[in-house]
Amino acid sequence: MRAGFFAISLLTAIVCASSSLEASSPDAPKANNTYLRPIGTEHQSVYWTLFANADYPQVQIAKVPLAKNSKTTTINSTLQNNLLETSGVAFDAAGRFWILSYTQTNGVPTSALIFNPPITPQSVPVFTLVLSGTEDADALAFDPSGNLWVTSPGNQSVMEYIGPFGASGTLSPARILTNGVDTPFGIAVDKKANVYISNNHSTGTNSIAVMKSPYSAQPYFLDGLTNPGGLVFDADGNLYASTNGSTAAVVRYNSNHLKSGDQPDIVDATKLQGSYEASFAFAANGDLYAANCGETGVVGIQVWPLGTKKFSAHLAPSVSYTNKKIKNFGCAWGIAIQ
């Protein structure tokens, strides 16, 4: 596990918003924070962050499908891009790349830096949003209306910011959720705009808080996880999550088992000992990608071949990718695919 991970956990108290991709109109909003590619579009790329200081890459990019020996493009911190300690990442419905960055404020508040892809080492944000009220934000997701949701574990909150977004400035949250929130890391939003939040301090109960739109009632909880991190929905409405620690695994709550007290239908711990799955994303072919901020032997990016195989309790990752920068720092944190 990367050096300082537990210190960051105590200070920031994640996971990222991840994405699931289908071929459709590129302009249609998607509940789980996905950029929808036009039919026939190929050559996706996977983007991940290291949650690192300026001595390490802020974003790395590789072509999809990822292979064990894939080459990466590395984006470092510069005065021009203002990337520093980058955490959650996502693509919005317009195809823009969003990166949570602690910049010069040390995450209080956190900024969202928005880039037009393709992203190169020379890229600069097209605009920057200061997310007022956040402390050490970890993950972000968009709801079906294009509004932004951000986990803020530093002050035990989840915040909503109302779109559309098109110019730099400071945003005030339209809504702050605190009931049932206990060190919120990952976040996902379903097609009905219900918000799912992983409570990283869970030891088996109240693992995922579910806030139903219009968010006025108390949340209910999905159970069965320890130190949960990433969350993502697939195209069928099944929820993937992680349980971490000594029994690290990727789990799935089936779409018909997302009620109060429900536990995972499938728990897959195959070759994941020592893992911390911080965030998830789906490729267009259905493969599941995860950013792993775990121990030295597993840190990096894992891929499950769900485009060709069913998820099961014994499905091992088909690809485990890492590189010197990831291993030296000890973490891959946010992940998104376009």
- Site of tokens 């069913």: 310
Question: Does the structure show a pLDDT above 70 at 302?
Answer: yes
- Express as a percent the part of the chain with pLDDT over 90: 85
Q: pTM (2 decimals)?
A: 0.88
Q: Dihedral of CA 164/168/169/172: which sign?
A: positive
Please give the class, per CATH, of domain 5-337.
Answer: mainly beta
Q: How far is CA 138 from the centre of its chain?
A: 8
Q: Quote the CA–CA distance of 237 and 65 in Å, as a whole number.
A: 23
Structure tokens at 131: 């997310």
- 6, containing H or E segment: helix 5-12
pLDDT 10s digits, 96-154: 999 999 998 999 999 999 999 999 999 999 999 999 999 999 999 999 999 999 999 99
Listed by start position, the domains of the chain span 5-337
Question: Does the structure show a pLDDT above 70 at 10?
Answer: no
